[in-house]
Structure 1
């Protein structure tokens, strides 16, 4: 008897959907992972997302306070040099 078994699809149909947009611009139709707003393919999977205390922003040090102060000092020196040249 193939095809006579009733499948319990109610919970699957009523589960919350993923909030992501697909490449086409339409909303994702996959069910969201339990306790999250995204499906397994759009960031709901375990271990997805940025690490806690995201250290990725410090890979090159361009935006550290020390680096920004140094850049500001260099800009000041250049400006003073231009002003000095214009005086003579």
Structure 2
């Protein structure tokens, strides 16, 4: 026969977040994650991406913009290294 439910809940891993008082959260972590449902372990938790986020302004710091900036930076570095090899 299996363990009683209360014992299984007591032995389950705990959430790793700190509460506002500074003590660790005592809620059980969501299975497969390190946080409880209230601290970001729930499916779909977190802020939406892009314009759906309430803090979105102009798109300069979106994932797509940052990746394009990195690609341009790589092209410039390649061009500089090619010019130094030719000179």
TM-score (norm 1): 0.52
**Contiguous gaps of at least 5 residues in structure 2:** 66-87
Q: How many residues align?
A: 58
Correspondent of 1:37 among 34, 38, 43:
34
Counterpart CA distance in 2 for 1:48 and 1:42 is 9
* 1:19 has 2:11 as partner: no
Q: Which has the larger radius of gyration?
A: 1
RMSD over aligned Cα atoms: 2.9
* 1:28 has 2:22 as partner: no
TM-score (norm 2): 0.52
